[in-house]
Structure formats: C-alpha cells, structure tokens
Amino acid sequence: MQKMFRVGNSGVAVLLAVVVFLLLVSTAPKIGLTWDEPDYIAAAKSYMGWYGQVFTQPGEAFREHSITQAWSVNKEHPPLDKVWSGVFWVLTRSLTDDLTAHRIGNMLLVAILAGLLYALVAENYGRVAGLASVAALMSMPRFFFHSHLAALDVPAAFSVFVVTFVFWKTLGRKGWAWGTLLGLVWGLALATKINAIFLPITLGAWWLIARRDLKIVRRLVVMGLVAVPVFVVIWPWLYVDGAAHLGEYLWFVTVGHWEIGQYYFGQFYMPPPWHFGFVMTWAVLPLTLTALYITGIVRTRKPRQDGGLGLLLLLSALTPNLAIAIGQSMVYDNERLIMVTFPFLAALAGIGFDWVVSGWVKLSGRWGRPFVSQIGMVGLVVLAFVPQTVTMLRLYPHLLSYYGEGVDGLRGATALGLETTYWCESYSLALPIINELAEPGDTLWADPWSHNVLIYYQMLGRLRDDLVILAPQEVPSVFGLDAPQPRVRPMDTADWFIQQHRQSAYGFEGENSEIFRVLRGKKVVFEYDFNGVPILTLRKQ
C-alpha cells in the first residue's frame, strides 16, 4: 500500500507539472517584455551560436577570440539558465513566436518546480498539503508573472529549491555519492545565479538547530568541493583568463554592480532600510496565503515532529530577506530579488492549509453531517485561493502591480508610498496606439536604459521599424549592430513618451526631477489604470 501511495504521488506530481506548464504557456503571449529579458535573450542567442560552432568548427570555437566574443555577452551573470533557455529557443522557435520560444525553457522549470514542491510536501504532510502548496505558489500573482519570463529570478528560485530538495531527500543515505550529487546540483545552482551562494548558511543553520550530525557537516564539505569545479566547467568564459574573469565576476556581484535604488514608503533610497524585503513579502502576497504560511510555521514549530522539514522550509524562506537586511546590496526591484523565498512560503502555506482542513474535519465530524463537512471544505478552498485569483484575472497581465489585502491592494500600497509598477512590462499597451498614430520617423522616449525593450519589440514586428528610439547616451543595442540602434537626443525633444508609473525612475528628486517635469508638460494620449491608480501613461508633444 505504501509503495502504491508513493507511485501515486509521483503520478500526481507529473500531472501537476503538465498542468502548470500548459497554464503558463497559454497565458504567456500577453505578458509584456521586461527590462532584463533583452540582455538574456541576446546572451542565449550568442551562446547557442558558440555551441553550434563547437559541433561544426571545434578548433575555431575554442580559440580565445571565439570564446571571448560569444561569452562576453551578459557576462555579469553565470550562463546556465541562458543556455537552458537557448536550447528550448532553438527547439521551439519554428513552432511559436521568438519571445515565447525564449521563455518556454523557464516555464518548464516552473512546471518541474511545481511537481517537486508537491512531492516534497505530500510525502511528509499528505496530498491535501501538497496540492495546496502548488495552488498557493501559482496563486501568488507576482510569482506567477515572473514564471513566464526569460529572466534569472525564478530559475534562481528553482535551483535553490532543487538543492534543498536533494539535501532533504538524501539526508538518511550513506556514502560519498550523495554528497557528490548535492555538490553537483549546488554547482548548477551557482551557475544559474549568485543567490545560491547562501545555501550553505541555510543548511548549516538547520544542522545547528535541528540535527547536529557530523555526517551532515562532511556532506556539506563535499558539496562545496564538488560545486566549485562544476561552476567553472559550465562557464566557458572562465576558460580564458580564468582567474581574472572570475575576479571580475566576483567584483561585480559584490561591490561593482551599478546601483538600482528603490522608492519605498514615499522616499527614494539607496539602499532601502533593513526591513524592505520583509515588508515587500507581506505587501505582495495575498493575505490568505500569509495567514496560511504563518499557520504552517506554527504547525511545524517542533522539529522532532517532522524531522525538521518545517524548520528547513522556514530558514530557506527567511534567508533571502535576511541577506538583504544585513547585506550591502545596491540592487533593488521590489520583490524580484526575493523570489527565492516564495516556493518555501508556498510549502508552509500548504502545510497550514492541511492543518486547517484537518481541524475542520474533526470538528464537523462530531456533528454527524458529512454534507456540512464537505461544504465547509469547499468554503476553505474558496477562501484561501479565490480572492487573489479574481484579482489576478482582473489585473492580468499587469501582475507586477498586484498588492495584497494586507496593504489594501494597489490603491492602498500607492497611498503608503510603495511603487506602482516596474520593469517595463506595461509598454506593450502603448505599441498599437503609437503604430497607428505616429508619423514616419517619430522619436520615442521611455524610461532611461529601457531602449532594448523597444528595440526587441521592433525586431518582433510589434513596433514600427521607422520609429526612432531614444537613449540617454551613446550605447549600442544588445542585439548587435544589425539590430535597430537607439539615438541620443534630449528627452524633451521626443515625439512620444511612454511612462510606466515606476516612482523609482525619478530618483531622490521625486516629482521635482527633470524627468517628471518634462512628462508633466506633455499631452496625455492614453492612460491605463487599475482601481483608479495609473499604471501606464502614453504622452506626446
């Protein structure tokens, strides 16, 4: 019977992965292009070109010039997810549009994540908890949005979850092979994004609190020894001047990254206060899910009851926010950089939901009326997952403007001084209007350094190619000289102005900034709002 149950859980996990994948693919076309995606798309194309050369001209491919040329594109981040996305772009670009083809690999990762999330929680807390965990993850509006993108934040969340999953599943197994496996997956996670660097801290803290077994320490040491060479082997950019390039990467991710400030509680910060990550976690999650993951934390407060799984989930959820709170990061984009925390909170929410359901079943069972019990369970499902789903349907596809009931939604968050939107996804609303009304050769201004978003829209044919995109200074397109190139002109000379209501764009000067002054004096052609809060405004001279 137990074996049948395990097989059954595996089948459910696979089915859930398929359903999640189909859901993401079917909702992807309306998800607007985001700020970082053009860089990763250009990198994926470059890396795929190099791998093609490896098969056709291996001698030439491994020359210093070839490696440097191909792998210097977006060398700021490790390559694994861009390679993964590139492979699926090659496989699917003849079946769908170019943007969806670049995104489909990451949508597959989220589908696998959903299956693993179910498997981990269901094995330890039952099928209701497992199903509720996946439902919680997919009804987190901002995570759902990011799940579609050719970006690195959700792949980072996936890779950290996989390492944690492998760590937990192999705890009781003996032999060096399991430490080697753990090192392999941690090396892959490091080759996805720097977020994985905090895993030894999380796992070490869990060991210190829950299970002080020296075998675990040895396993973590083996994990580290294996992970480093895996990381190096996966990144061909390190094959040339390896020490210098590795030092360049480490400098960039520690002190050399360009600053991205944050509008927070009505002020612009660089960096924001220590509590920023915790407040954003509260603000962007549905209140019902927040209540459920807190319930899950209470249920798992004693590590002896579940072997420490609940504690592991809690520590994994806390680590990204603690890293921001005590670190010196110069990069902030609302919830984007704490995406790693959401799968673990979803697991805790599923555990909490199962506890609530179990309590209701026991209570209603005393009344001897099964119908009442069943109605109550349906009511719990509706209460837990329907409110945010309704809001998602109303706001879709602009889910980066979602805020939970804990801050009274978008209107309440805006009144508190939280950022209305970010990352350019709403630009797609303005394109049909510009295509219809613009004169030949008209110039377009959008947020500084977002020109590659508009250039890629031109390459896709969604923005007229006779229109000229402005940039704040001379900078080539990430897609190379064969792509449309931006032109340097003063902002106030543009014919069209695409304004996403990202308050961080105005910097420390806020509404006194030059950008805001110019925009305020231009004619409004179109404005999109949600519940009375503007998200995108299209203006012209």
Q: 10-residue block means of pLDDT along the chain (541 residues)?
A: 60 97 97 97 98 96 96 96 98 97 98 98 97 98 98 98 97 92 98 96 96 92 97 97 94 83 94 94 98 97 88 97 84 92 98 96 83 91 97 98 98 98 97 98 94 96 97 89 92 97 94 93 97 98 92
Determine the pLDDT at residue 398.
98
3-state secondary structure of 320: helix
Q: Quick one: DSSP state of residue 496?
A: E
Q: Using CA atoms in the order 219, 220, 224, 227, what is the torsion angle rounded to 10 degrees?
A: 70
Phi-psi group of 323: left, alpha or beta (phi > 0 → left; psi -120 to 50 → alpha; rest → beta): alpha
Determine the pLDDT at residue 537.
98
Report cis status (omega within 30 of 0) of the bond before 397. yes
> For residue 282, which of 292, 290, 294, 271 has the smallest C-alpha distance?
290
C-alpha to C-alpha distance for 2 and 67, rounded to whole angstroms: 52
Determine the pLDDT at residue 4.
41
> For residue 487, which of 526, 523, 455, 527 has the smallest C-alpha distance?
455
Residues in the chain: 541
Alpha-carbon distances, residue 228 vs 214, 234, 420 (angstroms)? 22, 10, 40
Determine the pLDDT at residue 498.
98
Determine the pLDDT at residue 304.
80
389 token code pair = 């789903």
Contact predicate 47/441, CB 8 Å: no
Going by C-beta distance under 8 Å and a sequence separation of 6 or more, which residues neighbour residue 239? Answer: 62, 67
Pinpoint the alpha helices (H) of 252-365: 276-284, 287-299, 303-306, 309-326, 341-365
* Other CB atoms within 10 A of residue 416 CB: 15
Residue type, 284: V
Helices 98-125 and 153-169: crossing angle in degrees, nearest 10, is: 30
Q: What is the biggest distance separating any 2 CA atoms in the chain, rounded to whole angstroms? A: 78
Helix (H) or strand (E) holding 497, with range, is: strand 496-500
**Rg value, the chain, Cα:** 24
C-alpha to C-alpha distance for 347 and 135, rounded to whole angstroms: 10
3-state secondary structure of 534: strand
Q: What's the pTM?
A: 0.96
Residue type, 397: P
C-alpha to C-alpha distance for 384 and 285, rounded to whole angstroms: 12
